[in-house]
Copies of this chain bind each other. A is one copy, B any other.
Amino acid sequence: MSRMDDILENVAIDAWADGFTRAPGQANAPHESDAELGELAQAPEQYLAITIDTVAEEIAAGLYRDPFTMGWVTVMATLSDLAAVGADPLGVVVSTSVPQESDAAFIDGVRRGMEEACRSVGTFILGGDVNATPEVSLTGCAIGTVPRSAARTRLGIRPGDAVFLTGPAGQGNALGLVRLAGLPDDLFPEERYRPSARLAEGRALRGHATASMDTSDGVLTTLDQLARLNGRGFVVGCDWPVLLARGALGVCERTGTPPWMMLAGPHGEFELAFIVPASAVEPFLNEAPGIGLNPIRLGTVTDGEGITLVVPPGRRVDIDMASVRNLLVTAGSDLARYLDELGKLGRSWGLE
C-alpha cells in the first residue's frame, strides 16, 4: 500500500480519477498539481491551467453564514489553485445552485462576494450556470495560462530543500473552531475570513519555487500531501507568533486551544506552501522583498517519512497526519466529535 493510499480522501479521489483516460499533453497526473496543466497547440510555450472547486460542505457545516463569504470563497478557492501553479488568470466561470425560495439579499450577497473577490485580484467572472436545488452549492472554475518553463506542480522536492509560506496561516481553522465549538462569533468574526488567492505571489515565485500547493485544506494537510507525493518528510519549526495569523493566535490565547490545531484542522486559507532548493534559499531571501514577497520559513524537507513539529522551546514531536486527516471521514458529519478527537490526538503527542 502506498503512503498516498493511507489517506481516505486520496482513496476517494482515486475512486473517480483512476477510471479516466489521461489526456495526451497533460503535464500532471491526479494529485500532482493544484490545477490541471494542459498543452495548447496554438500557444506552444504556454500551459493552459484549469481547476474546479465546489463550496458546499463548508456551507452545510455552518462555517459560513454570510452569503458574501460563500461567494468570496468560491472564487478564491479556484483562483488559489491557479496561484499554486504560477498561472495568470483569464477568468472564472461559476455554477450557482441555491434554493428556489432564496431571497434577493442572499443572491446579492453571494454575487457581491464573487465580484469583489475577482476585483481584488484583477480578474473577472466570465459567465456561468444557475440552478435551483434544496441545498446551497457553489462551484467555481478558473482558467489561466502559465509559461511551460515556469509551471509548478507539487513534485520535485528533495531532502534539504526549504519550505515556506507566503504568509501567516490559521484563519480558516480559527473560524472553524469558533463555529464547531459554538464559541461566540466575536472571537473570530466571519467578516475577518477573507482569504485571498496569492496570484501575484504565485507569479513572483516563478523561477524561485520548485513546487507549491495551497493551504486550502490547512497547512499540515498540505505538507502531509506534499510529503506523501514526494516520498519525503518535513521538519516544521513552530514559532507560533510568526506562523499564525494574528486572529488565529488570538483565538488560541483566548480559548486555551493548542496552536497546532490552527495548522492541523481541515479548513484552511489560500496561502501557498512552496519549496526552494537548499542552494537557492539565500539568493531567494535576498530577492524576495523586491518581488513583493514576505516569505515565512516553515521548515525543511527530510529524507524520512512523516512530519515532525519542533515546538517551543525545542521539543521534537512526530505527528501522525493520516490519523488527523482520516478523522474527517471517520467522524462523518459529527463535527463536534471531530474536534474532540483532534484534541485527543494532539494530547497523545504532548501537544497542548
Chain B hits for A19, CB < 8 A: 108, 111-112, 115
User: In the complex where A135-B133, A137-B56 touch, is A127 in contact with B43 (Cβ < 8 A)?
Assistant: no
B21–A127 CB distance below 8 A: no
* Closest CB in chain B relative to A227 CB, distance in Å: 21
Q: How large is the interface on A (under 10, 10 to 19, 20 to 34, 35 or more residues)?
A: 35 or more
User: In the complex where A21-B115, A93-B141 touch, is A131 in contact with B50 (Cβ < 8 A)?
Assistant: no
- Looking at A10-18, A152-160, A257-265, A343-351, the stretch in contact with chain B turns out to be A10-18
Report how far A298 CA is from B251 CA in the complex, Å: 65
Chain B hits for A38, CB < 8 A: 90-91, 126
Chain B hits for A60, CB < 8 A: 133-134
User: In the complex where A40-B43, A143-B50 touch, is A131 in contact with B22 (Cβ < 8 A)?
Assistant: no
Report how far A276 CA is from B124 CA in the complex, Å: 33
Chain B hits for A13, CB < 8 A: 130
Report how far A324 CA is from B23 CA in the complex, Å: 42
Chain B hits for A16, CB < 8 A: 96, 107, 111, 128, 130
A54–B139 CB distance below 8 A: yes
* Closest CB in chain B relative to A122 CB, distance in Å: 11
Nearest-CB residue, chain B, relative to A19 = B111
Name A41-93 residues within 8 Å CB distance of B. Answer: 42-43, 45-46, 48, 50-54, 56-57, 60, 90-91, 93
A104–B141 CB distance below 8 A: no
Chain B hits for A145, CB < 8 A: 40, 42
Tally of this chain's copies = 2
A95–B54 CB distance below 8 A: yes
Q: Is A114 an interface residue (CB 8 A)?
A: yes
Q: Is A94 an interface residue (CB 8 A)?
A: yes
Q: Is A286 an interface residue (CB 8 A)?
A: no
Nearest-CB residue, chain B, relative to A77 = B129
Chain B hits for A90, CB < 8 A: 38, 40, 48
Out of B43, B45, B141, name the residue touching A141 (CB < 8 Å): B141
Q: Which of A56, A90, A115 has the most CB of B within 10 A?
A: A90
User: In the complex where A43-B40, A111-B16 touch, is A21 in contact with B52 (Cβ < 8 A)?
Assistant: no
Q: Is A30 an interface residue (CB 8 A)?
A: yes
* Closest CB in chain B relative to A285 CB, distance in Å: 32
A/B interface sample: 19 pairs, CB < 8 A: A17-B127, A17-B128, A21-B124, A22-B124, A23-B126, A26-B124, A38-B91, A40-B145, A42-B43, A48-B90, A51-B93, A52-B95, A52-B128, A52-B129, A52-B139, A54-B95, A54-B97, A56-B131, A60-B134
